[in-house]
Each structure stands twice: as structure tokens, then as C-alpha cells.
Amino acid sequence: ALVPPHGGVLRDLYLPTAEAEALKRFSASLPQRTLNQRQLCDLELLLNGGFSPLQGFLGRADYDRVLADMRLADGTLWPIPITLDVSEAFAASLSAKAQISLNDTQGTPLAVLTVEEVYFPDHIAEARAVFGTTDRTHPGVAELLDRTGPVYLGGTLQGIQQPSHYDFASLRHSPRHLREWFRQHGWHRIVAFQTRNPMHRAHRELTLRAAEQVGAKLLIQPSVGRTKPGDVDHYTRVRCYRALLNHYPKDHAALSLLPLAMRMGGPREALWHAIIRKNYGASHFIVGRDHAGPGNDTNGRPFYDPYAAQQLLAAHRDELGIEIVPFPAMVYAANRDTYLPQNEVDAKDEVRDISGTELRRRLHSGESIPEWFTFPEVVNILRERHPANAREGFALFFTGLSGSGKSTLAQAVLARLLETGSRPVTVLDGDEVRRHLSKGLGFSREDRDANITRIGYVASEVVRHGGIAICAPIAPYAGARDEARQLVQAHGRFVEIHVSTPLEVCEARDRKGLYAAARAGKIKGFTGIDDPYETPASPELRVDTSQRTVTDAADVVFAWLKSEGLA
């Protein structure tokens, strides 16, 4: 028999078809909520039982105890808070015991939440408890502190329909499906492997050894919901996993994708991963070095001890209900032409390794990647995704007062870029954008924010496709500039250039006569006069066009781009 699910009951929160249809019709009359990517992933695993025994988003008592003791209020082990965050305005609009329709980004209703509790979490305390730090270099902390709503809604869920996935549909299974598949194939002992990276020979050796060690079949179950920013995209990874699958002994390994939004929470996250795998029917779970680790903190030190996850899981061994298979890193010993666990290496061994950074470097430069490191099919897939010498896109985001010289400087930098290379460039100048992309927007705070978000979005698409985006809006508010930065940095560099020409100079120039009009009260809310310009605290560059000619200023910018390898 397969292992029992966590807490004893495998949840299935989807209603039967007829009831789901009725609820779907009813949901149209409810307050609507579009979920973000993390919330959608969480919802999917709540509804299909991946997060059993949870039946919805945590209420206050569960939340508090998860933070304090890694347990639900009833004592069940549960290390990561699964919460639904919203804005204060949305929470205030809800009546007591409200129901809300939870929708995907296309507006399709997936579930109805019956709100039992509305509460204000302390995000700082949550970051400390869950991640052990408030350092924003940690992606889980940054998300919690900067991109999580201030109010949590606790309550139970009724599922209407599964979130739709058009990619790799045949590799996606619910815990029920996978358990059924295991039964049909007579798999009883199953060791699960979690990953967010492409897999190479070292991973194959590690998983094979782990499976052999405990006499189990292997379930490769990569997280494909949301992983660490900068990771290889899951489309590419899944192609790699499929290729790798042919290199396992026949009928020994299976591949299934997990729509998990990782938090990179190290030890707590490892415990969570194990619980989820148990729900999917795995009897064993591999925990390697630095499981779900987010890398280094601001001071260059690792957030978690590389073996802290293994220790935490060992400490909960008895009540966990899934066996942990701790594994050291596998390394290649060239003299033996074989892989072995790091702790079995002796002084005579010639150990070789290629780090993720080194692999990216070789892909970029087109240098060879040795056969001992990975399989030719995997290299081909990675090379197709990362062609040699392809250059990453970037955005130059000029910000400054009206008349500071942003547009002129942007034009001069554009000319330098086009004189010296033939990379694709898109210019998103302030005035130009307002004639097309942002037509109809005014200069209220909301409208300016919307303008900058639009510019950031278009820039991020340009950068995603390897192009250069040159933006030159006033962008007076730090929050909006930061949002544009986040959008772009998902795909490449964001270079903020503060054109710091002082107000007096801009006003004296008064190229368009707008300052005079603003002083005369004919234009209201003019930046620098009666609307604030929040000076960028740490832009990549700061240039003042009252101190040098535009040509000189463009030279400064261009020299900097060269020194950063961008031009």
C-alpha cells in the first residue's frame, strides 16, 4: 500500500460536476479576485490535495502556530504559511462571512473562498519566523515585504475547475492521479526528487544511487510553478528532463511536474516539499545539499547551513511519515572516470565540477561542455535556448525633471549605440509615449504610475527578446520606478540614470514654457513646482546636464555601458 497522506486524509476540494457548474454560475455575482502566480500555484495544490490536510487559506490561529512551531493549530506539522493576501481596500469592501470568486488571469473562476477570517499579519515577524531573516536579497523575503498585500483572508475553498495548463499537460498529475498510476504499475516504494534546475549526469547518478540505496523506484518531480528568479525557464528544463529520462534503466523512473510556487525557504521549505511528496504517494524523499537554498545574503554568507535542511527533517523523522534520503553532493573523479559522493572522495582523486555559473559562461562563449558533465541531448537543448554570444537585453531608464535634458541625452546615447553596433533598440520617450501608449492619461499620481508601469512593461518585453529599451519619462515617484525595475530585471539589466540637472536650471531653460505656466497656476501638479520629484536614492548613474554638454554626458553614459559590458 502507498503511504497515507499528511494528516490522514487526501483532500479533493473540487465539487462534483453539477455542483461545480452551479457554483460557477453563482460565482459571477460574487466579489472577484484575480490571483497572482504564487496564489494560483497555492490554490492548485490546495484544491488537488497536494497541500493536504489544508482545506483553504490559513486563518489566524493556524498562521500564528505555523510561524511559531511549524504546526497547524491542531498540532499537525506544517512549516510554510499558505495565505491569501489582499489590499486593505479589498478587505474593507467585503461583508461579514463573504464569499469571493478566485479567478485565473483570464478571468475564469477556479474556486470560491468562504472568508472566515480577515487579519493583519506582521510581515517582518513572518519573514523572521519562516526565512530566519529580513534581508531582501532573499527572494522569499523580498516578495513578502514588498509584494504581499497587508491583509490575509482565511477560509475554506470549494473548487470549480482546475487551473488550465496548455504546456506539458500529459506530465501534470494530481496526487490522486499519481497514486493511481503507482498502483497500476505496482510501484510501492517510491523515492521523489525535487529540482528547479536542469539535470545533468551528477543528478542522474545521485538519484539512481538514492533509489538503489532504499530499493525504490524514482519519481522526478521538478517544481515548475515558480522557482528562483533567474532560473532556467521550465519549458527548457522539462525538455532536458524528458531527454534525461531515457538514460535511466527502463521502468525505473517517472517524470511528473509539480505546480509549486517555491519560497526558497531552505530547511522549512524542505520539510514542506517532503510533506507534499508524501501526499503524492512517495515513500521517500531525497534531500541534498542546500535544499531550496536562496544563495547568499547581502554579506555574501549563505542564508542557511547547507545541511540544515537534512538536520531539520531528521529531527522530525518519526512524525513525518515519509523517509528522508539525505544525499551529499555528487562529484566527478576524473582519475576513476566516475561520479561519487563528495564524502567518499580521497586525496588522490582528481575532482572536477562545473558550477551553474561556469555552465552559463560556456554556453555563452560557445565553449565545449564535456561529456562527463552532461548528456549531449541536454547540451543541445540548453544551447538552443542560450545561443552562443547572444547578448542579454537591457533597459536604460532616464529619469529627471521636465527640461532636465533626459530626451536629448537619450537621443545622444541612442546615436552612440547605433553608430557602434546593430543591436535592436526601442525608444520610449516621455512625450512620445504619452501620444500613443499612454494616450488619455493625465498627471495625477495614479495616471503617472500607470504611465510608468506601461513603459516598464513594454521595456521588459523588449529586454526579454534581447533588445535595448531606452526610456525617458520624468518618473517622479520612487515606487513606480522600482516597479519598472522589477519588470525589466526579470529578463535583463535595468540601468537607472538620474538626470540630476537642478530645478533652477530646468526652470531657467523653460524650453516649453511650462514652468512659467505652472508658476502662474495655469498648470496644476507640475513636477518640481507643486508636485514632488522623489530623487533616486541609488541609481546606476547620475548625470547633470548643467555641468557638461550633452555630448560629454552621453560619453559618460556610453563609457559606463562599455565598462559594464553592455555596449
The three cell numbers locating residue 9: 486524509
438 is in an annotated binding site: no
Residue 526 sits in the site that holds ligand PPS (CB under 6 A): yes
* Cβ-based nearer residue to ligand PPS, 173 or 481: 481
> For residues 85 and 49, what is the distance between their CA atoms, to the nearest angstrom?
21
Measure the CA–CA gap between 543 and 498, rounded to whole angstroms.
6
SS3 state at 466: coil
Of 267-275, 375-383, 467-475, 535-543, the segment contacting ligand PPS by CB under 6 A is 467-475
Catalytic residue among 172, 196, 201, 226: 196
Span of 220-228, 519-527, 538-546, 558-566 interacting with ligand PPS by CB under 6 A:
519-527
Residue 129 as a binder of ligand PPS (CB under 6 A): the answer is no
Is the separation of the CB atoms in 289 and 249 below 8 Å?
A: no
Nearest to 33, CA basis, from 84, 83, 102 = 102
Active site residue 195: yes
Question: Is 119 or 443 the residue whose CB approaches ligand PPS more closely?
Answer: 443
Beta strand 217-220 with 190-193 is parallel
> Is residue 210 a contact residue for ligand PPS (CB under 6 A)?
no
Give the Cβ contact number of residue 435 at 10 Å: 9
**Residue 405 known to bind ligand:** yes
- Contacts to ligand PPS from residues 181-200, by CB under 6 A: none
**Is 224:188 a contact under the CB 8 Å cutoff?**
no
Among 203, 416, 448, 481, binds ligand PPS (CB under 6 A): 448
Q: Which residues lie across from 339 on neighbouring strands?
A: 332
How many residues in the shown chain lie near ligand PPS by CB under 6 A? 20
From candidates 26, 90, 181, 443, binder to ligand PPS by CB under 6 A: 443
CA distance 117 to 62: 11
φ and ψ at residue 530, rounded to 5 degrees: -125, 25
Which member of 431, 504, 552, 564 binds ligand PPS (CB under 6 A)?
431
The grid cell for 151 is: 491583509
Smallest gap from Cβ 243 to ligand PPS, in A, equals 47
Q: Is there a binding annotation on residue 295? A: no
Stretch 367-406 residues interacting with ligand PPS (CB under 6 A):
402-403
- Interacting residues of 446 by C-beta distance below 8 A, sequence separation 6+: none
For residue 84, the cross-strand partners are: 153
Q: In angstroms, give the least distance from the CB of 495 to ligand PPS.
A: 17
Among 174, 451, 460, 500, binds ligand PPS (CB under 6 A): 451
Helix, strand, or coil (residue 542):
strand
Q: How many CB atoms lie within 10 A of CB 321?
A: 18
Residue 404 in marked binding region? yes
Q: Which amino acid is at 152?
A: Y
Task: Give the per-residue contact string, 469-508, with ligand PPS (x = CB under 6 A; - = no).
Answer: ----xxxx--------------------------------
Q: Is 522 in the site for ligand PPS (CB under 6 A)?
A: no
114, 134, 156, 197: which is the annotated catalytic residue? 197
Element holding 95 (H helix, E strand): none
Q: Using the rule CB under 6 A, is 61 a contact of ligand PPS?
A: no
* Residue 539 interacting with ligand PPS (CB under 6 A): no
By C-alpha distance, which of 8, 323, 2 is closest to 186? Answer: 2
534 binds ligand PPS (CB under 6 A): no
> 110 with 160: CB under 8 angstroms?
yes
Task: From the candidates 83, 103, 148, 195, give the one annotated as an active-site residue.
Answer: 195
CB 362 within 8 A of CB 353: no
Of 361 and 522, nearer to ligand PPS (C-beta) is 522
**525 annotated to a ligand binding site:** no
397 in Cβ contact with 387 (< 8 Å): no
Instruction: Kindly tell me which of 427 and 523 has the beta carbon lying closer to ligand PPS.
Output: 523
348 marked ligand binding residue: no
Nearest-approach distance from CB 511 to ligand PPS, in angstroms: 7
Binding segment toward ligand PPS, per CB under 6 A, in 8-16, 310-318, 524-532, 554-562 = 524-532
Cα separation, 352 vs 359, in Å, equals 13
**178 labelled binding-site residue:** no
**β-strand partners of 494:** 395
- Least separation in angstroms between CB 407 and ligand PPS: 6
Nearer to ligand PPS (CB atom), residue 74 or residue 530 = 530
Residue 95 counted as an annotated binding residue: no
DSSP letters for 183-208: HHTT--SEEEE--SS---HHHHHHHH
Please report, in range form, the residues annotated as the binding site: 400-407
**Which residues lie near ligand PPS (CB under 6 A)?**
402-403, 407, 430-431, 434, 443, 448, 451-452, 473-476, 512, 514, 523, 525-527
Please report, in range form, the residues annotated as the binding site for ATP: 400-407
Q: Catalytic residue positions?
A: 195-197
